[in-house]
């Protein structure tokens, strides 16, 4: 910087004074974090009040900085615009200083700190100095000295701007904001998800609540009040005001105290006008703390969460468009039909035999072999298929549901269905499937719904869950 100034514009005293001023100002900005260190404590209210205008004000310099290269480019055709660029650059710098001051007031006043806050802060400081440097580089550029310096500097501050803005966005909306709704394939590439993966009550029900409501300010990136809640250990460690959670004692746990205060209370959480926790979420937290706030327990007494078994996303089947005319032809008849699950071919076909059941046997099933790769559901209820059908069915790689109710199958060879990696539903109602054959289905991990009503394999009727009186 100094060298640059020396060689360039020290020809007159005014220029020298300007350069000196710029260097001093930059040094001052760089020293700011040491003069008023972010110590994680809250300071004066007026600082926070003013600071909260930062998210509003910060967009002005962003707009102006982006305008500069646009003006420079447009200036290639209309020189008057290029002249404006210098002016805009100066205004941008002044706005940068303003936004920086407000941002610093916000961080300092509210006692925020964390990795992302630090990154955002340094991004802001560097960016301001960069814009200042641009002003000087531009005047050199217009006098045809260092023709490369200015464009290079401009490009790099644009990159820096994007990065800093992203850090700011992550502070406000949370780190996952951009990737939350990323389409699944891309998400796998990005490869995130730090959520605990066990099946404990904490992992299934408590962490998601904290993740949705608290982690934006009490996480890895921002640990307001010294409290982090992104892992179980951090959560139990607590913050500056003491432990957030006292196992067994929801009343004395700060976490529950804070979320149940009146919304207008100064200490109410989630702070900064974010939506309060829902009553059922608070109930879950309270029950979990009361029963020891364990990280491993899978059940919390008195709380039953209806298990909505997350159905696995079905694998897309291949494209059957080339078979479409034949399928349409088949569906026109009064016999067997291959009905699309939905308008998306990748959802597959349903084999429907309802109108031809009395005459639909193993041979008819085998004759449909060329459609097997696309069949996801086989409705063979009340048909005359036999145990031989298991062989054919096991050749439908995407089969998810098989209806064999009221058929003559007895279960010999049913183990062949183990070849079906997506099978979740098997209806054997009213067949003569033996208990042994039914037991062999246990090896199919994906199978969730097996119906054995009215079969020899039907489990002994469990005592009806009679109305129990739990006041």
Tell me 401's DSSP state: E
Please, which residue, 191 or 279, has the CB nearer to other proteins?
279
Give helix 149-173 / helix 59-74 axis angle, nearest 10°: 150
| C-alpha closest to that of 131 among 154, 98, 159 | 154
| C-alpha closest to that of 424 among 406, 402, 409, 404 | 402
Please, which residue, 67 or 341, has the CB nearer to other proteins?
341
Residues paired with 427 in a beta bridge: 403, 451
Residue keyed to tokens 């001051």: 101
Residue pair 189/182 in contact (Cβ under 8 Å)? The answer is no
Nearest approach in angstroms of CB 358 to other proteins is 11
Tell me 370's DSSP state: G
Please, which residue, 39 or 283, has the CB nearer to other proteins?
283
Nearest approach in angstroms of CB 318 to other proteins is 16
Q: How far is CA 355 from CA 277, 287, 338, 341, 373, in A?
A: 53, 54, 12, 18, 23
Nearest approach in angstroms of CB 348 to other proteins is 8
Please, which residue, 23 or 401, has the CB nearer to other proteins?
401
Residue pair 252/246 in contact (Cβ under 8 Å)? The answer is yes
Nearest approach in angstroms of CB 379 to other proteins is 9
Residue keyed to tokens 């072999």: 369
| C-alpha closest to that of 168 among 109, 225, 110, 221 | 221
Please, which residue, 233 or 464, has the CB nearer to other proteins?
464
CB within 8 A of 47, min separation 6: which ones? 105, 106, 108, 109
Q: Number of C-alpha atoms within 13 angstroms, CB side, residue 83?
A: 3
Nearest approach in angstroms of CB 308 to other proteins is 6
Please, which residue, 72 or 405, has the CB nearer to other proteins?
405
Q: How far apart are the first and last CA of the chain?
A: 78
Residue pair 258/229 in contact (Cβ under 8 Å)? The answer is no
Please, which residue, 72 or 281, has the CB nearer to other proteins?
281
Residue keyed to tokens 């976490």: 255
Nearest approach in angstroms of CB 470 to other proteins is 5
Please, which residue, 264 or 313, has the CB nearer to other proteins?
313
Give helix 115-142 / helix 79-110 axis angle, nearest 10°: 160
Report the alpha-carbon distance of residue 424 to residue 448 in Å, rounded. Answer: 5
Max CA distance (Å), the chain? 104
Instruction: List residues binding other proteins (CB under 8 A).
Output: 304, 306, 308, 314, 328, 331-334, 337, 339-344, 347, 352, 354-355, 381, 403, 405, 425, 427, 429, 449, 451, 453-454, 464-471
| C-alpha closest to that of 457 among 435, 437, 436 | 435
Nearest approach in angstroms of CB 467 to other proteins is 5
| C-alpha closest to that of 134 among 161, 169, 102 | 161
Nearest approach in angstroms of CB 398 to other proteins is 12
Nearest approach in angstroms of CB 344 to other proteins is 7
Nearest approach in angstroms of CB 343 to other proteins is 4
Please, which residue, 317 or 420, has the CB nearer to other proteins?
317
What's the order of all strands across the beta sheet hosting 425-427?
337-340, 349-352, 375-379, 401-403, 425-427, 449-451
Please, which residue, 264 or 463, has the CB nearer to other proteins?
463
């Amino acid at each position: 910087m100094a060298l640059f100034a020396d060689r360039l514009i020290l020809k007159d005293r005014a220029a020298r004074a300007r350069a000196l001023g710029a260097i001093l100002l930059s040094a001052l900005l760089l020293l700011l974090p040491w003069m008023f260190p972010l110590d994680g404590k809250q300071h004066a209210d007026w600082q926070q009040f003013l600071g909260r205008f930062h998210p509003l004000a910060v967009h002005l310099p962003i707009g102006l900085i982006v305008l500069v290269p646009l003006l420079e480019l447009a200036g290639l055709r209309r020189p008057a615009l290029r002249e404006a660029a210098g002016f805009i650059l100066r205004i941008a710098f002044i706005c940068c200083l303003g936004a920086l001051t407000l941002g610093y007031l916000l961080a300092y006043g509210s006692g925020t700190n964390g990795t992302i806050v630090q990154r955002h802060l340094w991004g802001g400081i560097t960016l301001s100095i960069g814009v200042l440097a641009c002003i000087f580089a531009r005047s050199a550029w217009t006098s045809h000295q260092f023709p490369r310096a200015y464009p290079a500097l401009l490009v790099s501050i644009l990159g820096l701007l994007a990065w800093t803005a992203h850090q700011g966005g992550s502070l406000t909306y949370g780190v996952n904001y951009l990737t939350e709704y990323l389409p699944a394939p891309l998400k796998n590439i990005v490869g995130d998800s730090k959520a605990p993966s066990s099946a404990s009550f904490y992992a299934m029900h408590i962490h998601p609540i904290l993740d949705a409501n608290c982690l934006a300010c009490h996480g890895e990136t921002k640990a307001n009040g010294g409290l982090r809640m992104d892992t179980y250990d951090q959560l139990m460690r607590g913050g500056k005001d003491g432990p957030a959670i006292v196992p067994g004692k929801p009343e004395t746990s700060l976490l529950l105290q804070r979320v149940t205060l009146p919304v207008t209370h100064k200490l109410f959480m989630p702070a900064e006008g974010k939506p309060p926790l829902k009553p059922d979420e608070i109930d879950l937290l309270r029950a979990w703390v009361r029963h020891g706030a364990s990280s491993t327990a899978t059940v919390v007494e008195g709380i039953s969460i209806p298990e909505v078994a997350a159905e696995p996303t079905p694998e897309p089947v291949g494209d059957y468009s080339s078979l479409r005319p034949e399928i349409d032809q088949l569906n026109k008849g009064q016999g067997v039909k291959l009905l699309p699950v939905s308008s998306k071919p990748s959802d597959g076909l349903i084999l429907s035999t309802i109108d031809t059941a009395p005459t639909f046997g193993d041979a008819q099933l085998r004759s449909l072999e060329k459609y097997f790769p696309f069949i996801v559901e086989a409705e063979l209820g009340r048909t005359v298929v036999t145990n031989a059908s298991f062989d054919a069915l096991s050749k439908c790689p995407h089969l998810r549901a098989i209806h064999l109710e009221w058929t003559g199958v007895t279960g010999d060879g049913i183990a062949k269905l183990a070849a079906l990696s997506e099978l979740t539903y098997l209806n054997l109602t009213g067949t003569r499937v033996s208990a042994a054959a039914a037991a062999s289905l246990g090896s199919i991990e994906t199978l969730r719904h097996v119906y054995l009503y009215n079969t020899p394999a039907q489990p002994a009727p469990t005592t009806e869950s009679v109305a129990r009186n739990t006041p």
